[in-house]
Amino acid sequence: MTAKLIKGTEIREQILEEITTEVAQIKAKHGVVPGLVTILVGANPASISYVTLKIQTAHRVGFHEVQDNQDATISEEDLLALIDKYNKDDSINGILVQLPLPKHVDEKKVLNAIDPDKDVDGFHPVNVGRLMIGGKEVKFPPCTPAGIQEMIVRAGVETKGAEVVVVGRSNIVGKPIANMMVQKGKGANSTVTIVHTGTKDLAAHCKRADILIVAAGVPGLVKPEWIKPGACVIDVGVNRVGETVSEKTGKKVAVLRGDVDFDAAKEIAGYITPVPGGVGPMTITMLMLNTLKSLKFKLGIA
Ligand code: NAD
């Protein structure tokens, strides 16, 4: 069997088109567009490239975008004051603080200062609680898990009653996606198991998964023989396993591998996500969707 590829790159294009259309409609009817501020502290090269991608995507879909770059020496007090300014700014619907922050700043304190109704990353404890309650309480599902669920839904995979096994229990992927898949409703209603480093027999759990979501950060952790024939395999792992020279640019680029042995797994699974080009492109896409939702909540049209 050769699995159907679930391509994040293609789904991203569809969703960004949908967002662009909706932004234009809201602008025509209500005279406003979603506003997103990206706060970058210091000049960490990886952070700069993430922020740049977020800014480019925000422009592409027609958002009002504010880039707020701060020196690495900014005090915690000044950073909190900055967050407060954007919390009160009516033109801003989403506030993003790019992590990591310099060591002298308490990251948790800064993230918790963001108004939960502008927390489009979905990491504020209030939004974590809303996600746990489920249904209409949910405002901003965290972006990577939201992307995973969207991929499963758009691929047409049945989730109701499905055995979902999630490998990994992080706060940004494993725990939230498990919580989302267990809720009653569209794209969920599954029976969910979370496995992790304390699990006795990882293989036995994976083998009974109709939907296997792997977010461990261990290249090739999931062996092909752990995959149930026809299962949907979502590989969240992004692991740098070496370097190569890009044919296009001639520059050195990282060789990326997922947590699943892709070449062998694709012959057994019914659906599978590639790495790269699978879950990766979904995260920023869902960030845009959350920012649009934030404005829609404010306008009472969500
Ligand atoms: P994490 O390190 O915070 O958590 C990994 C989890 O996997 C832990 O809960 C751990 O218990 C579990 N785990 C690790 N090794 C295991 C093993 N041998 N057996 C069983 N369980 C094991 O990682 P994270 O932040 O959740 O990220 C996981 C992977 O997903 C990483 O490769 C990361 O780069 C990737 N990721 C990708 C995206 C994206 O594509 N947009 C977003 C977030 C994370």
pLDDT mean over 190-217: 98
pLDDT mean over 189-193: 98
- Give yes or no for residue 251 having a pLDDT over 70: yes
Is the shortest distance between the CB of 178 and ligand 1 below 6 Å?
Answer: no
pLDDT tens for residues 252-284? 999 999 999 999 999 999 999 999 999 999 999
- Going by CA atoms, what residue is nearest to atom 40 of ligand 1? 280
How remote is the CA of residue 222 from the centroid of ligand 1, in Å?
13
Is the shortest distance between the CB of 273 and ligand 1 below 6 Å?
Answer: no
How remote is the CA of residue 166 from the centroid of ligand 1, in Å?
10
Task: Indicate whether this model's pTM tops 0.85.
Answer: yes
pLDDT value of residue 1: 64
> Cα(20)–Cα(128) distance, rounded to whole angstroms?
28
pLDDT mean over 45-72: 97
What is the radius of gyration, based on Cα positions, of the chain?
20
Is the shortest distance between the CB of 145 and ligand 1 below 6 Å?
Answer: no
> Cα(65)–Cα(43) distance, rounded to whole angstroms?
19
Q: Which residue has the higher pLDDT, 248 or 178?
A: 178
- Going by CA atoms, what residue is nearest to atom 1 of ligand 1? 170
Residues labelled catalytic: 54, 98, 121
pLDDT mean over 190-206: 98
Is the shortest distance between the CB of 51 and ligand 1 below 6 Å?
Answer: no
